[in-house]
Amino acid sequence: MNDTDTPLGAPAGFSLADFQQNKGWFLALGILLISVGTLAIIYDFMATLISVFFFGWILIFMGAYEAVQAFWQTKWGGLFLNLAMGILAVVVGFHLVTSPVDSALVLTLLLAVYFMVIGIFRIVASLTMRFPNWGWVLFSGIVSFILGVLTKQQWPLSGLWIIGLFIGIDMIFSGWSYVMLSLAARK
């Protein structure tokens, strides 16, 4: 296989030559994500507030768009449903933007409950179904459940830093994956 061949399972239009040509961009993106992720972990409270604020503005813009779009799709019959969902998104987004600390507390509590519930589902599914590599799903479920319990035990204090910490950790792992991808492109 030469550099312009498409590897088995790669999406259409994928070219190893293009991938190798852009390896510097992958490396730069990886380093940027690792740096920003590290800052997000160090300044977890600020990262939490910024992300809640950012999410609030996304909800405001998307809700306004959905409410306006509801009037464009009058033949569909879902005018009131789309309008109500758009208004709800704007109201929730406005609350997130105007009260980021309170919003972070609520979101963290929801996150803790989500981790506990999804952990229980993964544990039960892996133990009852015993599909291939079920041990990894069991391990994932246990970790998710423990993260949920630890987050809930520290709540409301955890609401001030946990979102920023999780975002920082995710950015660091994403950054390392891009760095490793760029190093693999050299071969």
What's the confidence (pLDDT) of residue 16?
A: 67
Per-residue model confidence (pLDDT) at position 3: 47
| Residue 123: per-residue pLDDT | 92
DSSP string, 154-171: TTTGGGGTHHHHHHHHHH
The answer to pTM > 0.75 is no
Residue carrying the six token digits 């409410």: 67
Mean pLDDT, 10 residues at a time, the chain of 187 residues: 51 66 85 93 92 94 90 73 90 94 91 90 88 80 88 87 86 84 76
Gap between the Cα atoms of 164 and 58, Å rounded = 18
Domain limits, the chain: 20-185
Question: What length is written for the chain?
Answer: 187
Cβ-based burial of 45 (10 A; exposed 0-12, middle 13-18, buried ≥19)? middle
